[in-house]
A and B are shown apart, each in its own frame.
Chain A
Amino acid sequence: MTMQPRTLFEKIWDAHLVKPPTSETPAVLYVDLHLVHEVTSPQAFTWLRDRGLQVRRPERTVATMDHSTPTTPRGKDGKIPILDKQAAAQIGQLETNCKDFGVELHALGSERQGIVHVIGPEMGLTQPGTTIVCGDSHTSTHGAFGALAFGIGTSEVSHVLATQCLLQNRAKTLAITVEGKVRPWVTAKDIILAIVARLGIGGGTGQVIEYRGSAIRGLTMEERMTVCNMSIEAGARAGMIAPDDTTFQYLNGRERAPKGNAWDAAVSKWRTLPTDDGATFDNEMKFDGPSLEPMITYGTNPGMGMPITGVVPTPTNATLEKALKYMALEAGKPLLGKAIDVVFIGSCTNSRMSDLRAAASVFKGRKVAAGVRALVVPGSQQIKKEAEAEGLDKVFLAAGAEWREAGCSMCIAMNGDQLQPGQYAVSTSNRNFEGRQGAGGRTFLASPYTAAAAAVTGKVTDARTLVGG
């Protein structure tokens, strides 16, 4: 019997059906890995308690603290002080919940703590062919490994805790192909900002994206994570990239990856995952790699992006008009040269070693401009350690930037790090919504190169002209 050619998404979907969908009921989909953090889980654990339920598979559940945790430097006692009482209570609640339900927890300041989407891959928990969920929309990051990974709400967190399953309707598939070699200084962040700018913030709704083509194949795992991370910024359910040797090399030897014979067996299984020749997608979209430019956003959603050398567009609708008013920007003017107040380098989009190295290459031998605050926030404690071993912290500190503990920090402004009303920031994070980085704050999303270049010049700058492209 010959099998119908299938896409990567379809293979993973089919392999995780506890019960296929019917005309009246959605599919019951098995979840291989459930990641948990402090902000979207407390109510779910409470409901479990209220109903006398247990966590069905504690060994498939891993928790960390990242969103409401401070990233301020440690005190003399080696501890990270939590000044916000409400945040402290929420963090304490996660500790209690994990203890009561037997869930592995990487607590604040511990060796493996970090942003949930950074530590999963780092530990080797994120593996090809698996289903991964978390009460967080950027769970799409894990799709970089050829996993089906998506964000869920707190009710669904309780469903997965109690049953290790989710009720799901099957998404449509969207192939996004980027062919050709991207030019120097055009990073994975620029690729995804260009994709989101074209798709628009709602353009991916109801669909799972598979990123394909030579430009995608040529990316490292860290870069692939940056791309998949922002799939949700186009409204997509998930984003994924077929696993290949780059994937296997990254995973090989990681503490939670299979070892010995189990590794060999896993790799041969993983090799069967990529989309079959002849499989069809519901929708397709193509991008030309060599024509992509370093990107920056000008508006109040990640779809409002343009090449950094571009000019702010003239509003054609009320939404864009409102966005430009909030950003206090004038249509027809370039962003290059616009004075900024804060630079944030971090978040689950761009806080890994290669991002920090890129930023450091710009900071090296330069100083943060007078009046500018620059924060560099590693995605995990492991990255912090590795960066310090390489001396990157010294580069940041010598330049006058802040070097922080691991966490979400100014990506979400619920942990003490935030913009003041009216301030402009160039940020390597993923959302420029009104107030996202602090009430009244204004965000330009860009790559680590662009962010670091803004930090040292005090204005929006094309890193190519600063460092020499």
Chain B
Amino acid sequence: MEPIRTFASKTIVLPIDNVDTDQIIPARFLKVTSKVGIGKHLFADWRYDAAGTPKADFVLNKPEAQGAQVLVAGDNFGCGSSREHAPWALVDHGFRAIISTTIADIFRNNALKNGLLPIVVDAATHKKLLAAPGAQVSVSLQDQMLTLPDGGAIPFTIDPFARYCLLNGMDELDFLLSHDEAIKQFEAKM
């Protein structure tokens, strides 16, 4: 994976609480054996009508949303099913960070493994961002800092090890594999 350091982007805002992974990608699109091209199914039931035509009023379809890499969502983003297809779809679509007040456990884990930053902010910052779609923000993983258009710097926390892996383009599996000896010893005692 490419190392991540800093990036700047405008935001798009999805002011809905408890966006579950069934909304992020409905189950009928999980009958795949790879993850190539999965972004076209992102938010499928909110984004397209029954005939597959994009719904003009859904935020992802608006002209001003094109190219946005930061999604500001309501509370408790990513709850429900453990499907990693959810971060795959978000990343494939071009997102690099999700901002919310809480992010569900399994989704957060899955996101970090795919270079998608789960950024948890306080309620006041959240409110400000929800009210300002298209705001130009910058995200520094190195400094764990979100910079707002008004210059406000909002610290956030990413799990230290996941952050280390992302900064260095390192794979968590390599780290686990490097514990082979310790695992053997553990198994010998079982």
A43 contacts the other chain (CB 8 A): yes
Contact with A along B62-101 (1 / 0, CB 8 A): 0000000000001110011111100100000000000000
Docked-complex contact A30 and B81, CB < 8 angstroms? no
Q: A19-B182, A24-B160, A152-B109 are in contact. Are A87 and B31 (CB under 8 A)?
A: yes
Contacting residue for A202 out of B16, B76, B113, CB 8 A = B76
Interface flag for B23 (CB, 8 Å): yes
Q: How far is the CB of B58 from chain A (nearest CB, A)?
A: 13
When C-beta atoms are compared, the residue in chain A nearest to B110 turns out to be A153
Instruction: List the one stretch of B4-12, B134-142, B143-151, B173-181 in contact with chain A.
Output: B173-181
Inter-chain contact B183/A24, CB cutoff 8 Å: no
What is the bound-complex CA distance between A450 and B79, given in angstroms? 26
A84 CA to B15 CA in the complex, in Å?
A: 36
Q: Is the CB of A153 within 8 A of B31?
A: no
Nearest CB in chain B to that of A134: its residue: B82
B50 to chain A, nearest CB (A): 7
Contacts of A434 in B (CB 8 A): 22-23, 45
**Which residues on A sit within 8 Å (CB–CB) of B28?**
413-414, 439
Q: Is the CB of A158 within 8 A of B173?
A: yes
Q: Is A387 an interface residue (CB 8 A)?
A: no
- Given A68-B31, A153-B84, residue A28 in contact with residue B182 (CB < 8 A): yes
Does any Cβ of B come within 8 Å of A4's Cβ?
A: no
Q: A155 near B113 (CB under 8 angstroms)?
A: yes
Q: Which residue of A lies closest to B103 (CB)?
A: A205
A167 at the interface (CB under 8 A from B): yes
Counting CB contacts under 8 A, is A423 at the interface? no
Q: A46-B33, A317-B17, A434-B45 are in contact. Are A151 and B183 (CB under 8 A)?
A: no
- Chain A window 220-255, contacts with chain B (Cβ cutoff 8 Å), 1 for yes, 0 for no: 000000000000100101000000000000000000
Contacts of A201 in B (CB 8 A): 18, 76, 79
Nearest Cβ distance between residue A120 and chain B, in whole angstroms?
16
Asked whether B27 is an interface residue with its Cβ less than 8 Å from the other chain, the reply is: yes
The proximity string for A residues 57-100 relative to B, scoring 1 for CB distances below 8 Å and 0 otherwise, is 00000000001100000000000000010110110010000000
A436–B177 Cα gap in the complex (Å)?
37
Within A398-446, the residues touching B (CB, 8 Å) are: 412-414, 421, 431, 433-436, 439-440
Interface size of B in residues (CB-CB distance below 8 Å): 51
Given contacts A19-B179, A86-B31, A153-B82, contact A319 B106 (CB under 8 A): no
Count residues of chain A with CB under 8 A from any CB of chain B: 67
With a cutoff of 8 Å between Cβ atoms, the chain A residues found around residue B31 in the complex are 39, 68, 84, 86-87, 89-90, 414
Question: In the complex, what distance in Å separates the CA atom of A205 from the CA atom of B120?
Answer: 13
Mark contacts of B163-180 with chain A using CB atoms, 8 A cut-off: 1 yes-contact digit, 0 otherwise.
Answer: 010000000110111011
Render A21-48 as a binary contact track against B, CB cut-off 8 A, 1 for contact.
Answer: 0011110101000000001101100110
Question: Does the CB pair A319–B74 fall under 8 Å?
Answer: yes
Is A457's CB within 8 Å of the partner chain B?
Answer: no
Whether B121 is near chain A, meaning CB under 8 Å from some CB there, is no
Q: Which residues of A contact B105 (CB under 8 A)?
A: 205-206, 235, 237
Across the interface, A153 reaches (CB within 8 A) one of B33, B79, B106, namely: B106
Are A163 and B50 in contact, with the CB atoms below 8 A?
no
A173 at interface, CB cutoff 8 A = no
Bound Cα distance A190, B154 (Å):
42
Asked if residues A318 and B160 are in contact (CB atoms below 8 Å), the reply is: no
Residues of A within 8 A of B33 (CB): 42-43, 46, 89-90, 93
Contact between chains at B76 and A28 (CB < 8 Å): no
Asked if B159 lies at the interface with its beta carbon under 8 angstroms from chain A, I say yes
Q: Which residues of A contact B59 (CB under 8 A)?
A: none
> Chain B residue with minimal CB distance to A236?
B105
- Distance of A58 from chain B, by nearest CB (Å): 14
Are A30 and B183 interface neighbours, CB within 8 A?
A: yes
Whether a CB of chain A sits under 8 angstroms from the CB of B26 is yes
* Contact indicator B20/A159 (Cβ below 8 Å): no
CB distance B106 to A202 under 8 Å?
Answer: no
Is residue A265 contacting chain B, with contact meaning CB distance below 8 A? no
Q: For residue A42, which residues in chain B have a CB less than 8 angstroms away from its CB?
A: 32-34
Which chain A residues in 276-325 approach chain B with CB under 8 Å? 301, 303, 317-319, 322
Contact A202 B172 (CB under 8 A): no
B82 and A40 form a contact (CB under 8 A): yes
A136 touches B164 (CB 8 A): no
Contact: B173 with A162, CB < 8 Å? yes
B27 nearest in chain A by CB position = A414
Known contacts A26-B161, A40-B83, A205-B105, A153 near B113 by CB under 8 Å: yes
Closest to A18 in B: B186
Q: Given that A43-B34, A202-B104 are known contacts, is A165 also in contact with B159, CB under 8 Å in the complex?
A: no
- Of B50, B84, B159, B187, the residue contacting A26 (CB under 8 A) is B159
The complex places the Cα of A167 from the Cα of B170 at a distance, in Å, of: 14
- Shortest beta-carbon distance from A442 to chain B in Å: 13
Taking the closest CB of chain A, its distance from the CB of B174, in whole angstroms, is 9
**A158 to chain B: which residues have CB within 8 Å?**
173
A202 to B120, CA, bound (A): 14
Which A residues are in CB contact (< 8 Å) with B159?
26, 169
Interface digits, A157-196 against B, CB 8 Å rule (1 contact, 0 not)? 0110011111101000000000000000000000000000
- Could you pull out 28 A-B pairs where Cβ atoms are within 8 angstroms? A18-B183, A26-B161, A46-B33, A89-B31, A90-B32, A135-B84, A137-B80, A152-B82, A153-B113, A155-B172, A155-B173, A156-B110, A156-B113, A158-B173, A201-B18, A201-B76, A201-B79, A202-B75, A205-B76, A205-B105, A206-B105, A301-B20, A301-B79, A317-B17, A414-B30, A414-B31, A434-B23, A436-B27
6 more CB-based (< 8 A) A-B contacts, given A40-B82, A318-B15: A67-B30, A90-B31, A153-B110, A163-B179, A433-B22, A436-B27
- State the 7 A-B residue pairs at the shortest beta-carbon distance, nearest first: A202-B76, A153-B110, A153-B84, A42-B33, A151-B82, A155-B113, A86-B31
